[in-house]
Amino acid sequence: MTPSTPELFALLDITGDDAAECAVLLAREPNDHVQSALETMRRRLGTFPVDSVATSDITEPDWIEALLRFAPVVHDYHAAIGIEDAVSAASLADVGLQMRINRRVHGRFGLDTWGWLTLHMAGNLFRLGRLQFHLIRDVRNVTTPGTPTPASAWVLGVHIPEDGSLSPDAVDASFNQARSFFSRHFPDKRATVATCESWMLDPYLVERLPNSNIASFARRFTLDRCTDAPTDAIYFTFRQRGLENLDKLPRETSLQRTVLERIDDGGTWQLGHGHLEL
Q: What is the pTM of this model?
A: 0.92
Q: Per residue of the chain (278 residues), give pLDDT as tens.
A: 578 999 999 999 999 999 999 999 999 999 999 999 999 999 999 999 999 998 778 999 999 999 999 999 999 999 999 999 999 999 999 999 999 999 999 999 999 999 999 999 999 999 999 999 999 998 655 444 555 545 468 999 999 999 889 999 999 999 999 999 999 999 999 999 999 999 999 999 999 999 999 999 999 999 999 999 999 999 999 999 999 999 999 999 999 999 999 999 999 999 999 999 99
Q: List the one residue out of 134, 52, 148 whose CA is nearest residue 91.
A: 134
Residues whose CB falls within 8 Å of the CB of residue 37, separated by 6 or more in sequence, listed in order: 53, 55, 58, 62, 63, 66
Q: For residues 37 and 224, what is the distance between their CA atoms, to the nearest angstrom?
A: 35
Q: 15: left (phi > 0), else alpha (psi -120 to 50), else beta?
A: beta
Exposure class string for 255-270: b at 16+ Cβ within 10 A, else e: beebbbebbeeeeebb
The 10 Å Cβ neighbour count of residue 90 is: 17
The CATH-assigned architecture of domain 137-278 is 3-Layer(aba) Sandwich (3.40)
Domain ranges of the chain: 1-123, 137-278
